[in-house]
Amino acid sequence: MSLIKPYGDTLGDGAVQLSFTLPVAWSEAADEAARRLVAKMGFDDIAVVDGRAIASEFSFFVVYARTPVAIDVSQVRAPSATRDVLSLEQVDELIAERVGRKLKVAGACIGTDAHTVGIDAILNMKGYKGDYGLERYRGFEVFNLGSQIAVDELVRFAREHAVDAILASQVVTQKGSDIANFTALAELLEAEHLRDRIVLIAGGPRVTNLLAAELGYDAGFGRGTLPGEVATFIARRVAERVTA
């Protein structure tokens, strides 16, 4: 057991900061309402340190409070898709030796999402933060399909080009559109009997490897991911399959 709580300035103090807006004109009663609301959330020692009008019918609050609950970190599992990242040369070598051909990788922002910054950072030659993108690798043949690619269009492309890996990117998360699109892609690949042949990867600032696993993906990569991490994962996964 290793129970821990948020740390303010003393071990176990449980200090957290919250901020939120209430749809009410500001008054002292609004401050008190904010305090009681935080109390109903289960917090103790509540201090509403800032409460003020931000519009005629809305008030904004900054609150410090202590939580009575703790978490046992030893019981938490969230495996990362990133381990022992290989260099570009090592990835190319792994692919050349174990697979013996270029791996075809298709990437797209699926559904109506038009935000390609993330997928471009992973795929484009230039890469991200000095780490080269997949186009730079000899071991990959990259198809960056771009933005607003319908799920069935991506699956059709994957079949026609016999791709080894799909990178599906979602930035917009409004009303759960990202989960719906990711799910639709996994299900369609399954229905088309392509799922087992393809390394399926989800990406986006809100994506975690845990979420991706729940959605039936091989891996998920979130904010700050470097291209080399994705390259390593794809190369290892395909190499494992070839060996098996």
Question: 138 with 243: CB under 8 angstroms?
Answer: no
Q: Give one DSSP letter per residue of 22-49, joined into a string.
A: ESS---HHHHHHHHHHHHHTT-EEEEEE
Question: 64 with 37: CB under 8 angstroms?
Answer: no
Minimum CB separation from another protein for residue 81, in Å?
19
Contacting residues toward another protein, per CB under 8 A:
19-21, 54-58, 60, 112-114, 116-117, 120, 124, 126, 146-148, 171-175, 177, 205, 223-224
The residue among 208, 168, 203, 205 whose CA lies nearest residue 185 is 168
- What tokens were used for 56? 């005629």
Cα–Cα dist 80/88, whole Å: 20
Minimum CB separation from another protein for residue 93, in Å?
28
Cα–Cα dist 47/200, whole Å: 47
Nearer to another protein, 34 or 199 (CB): 34
Which residues neighbour 241 within 8 Å (Cβ) at sequence distance 6 or greater? Answer: none
Nearer to another protein, 60 or 66 (CB): 60
Nearer to another protein, 58 or 216 (CB): 58
Question: 123 with 141: CB under 8 angstroms?
Answer: no
Active-site residue among 5, 102, 104, 126? Answer: 126
Minimum CB separation from another protein for residue 229, in Å?
17
Minimum CB separation from another protein for residue 53, in Å?
9
Q: Does the annotation mark 126 as catalytic? A: yes
Nearer to another protein, 103 or 185 (CB): 185
Catalytic residues: 126
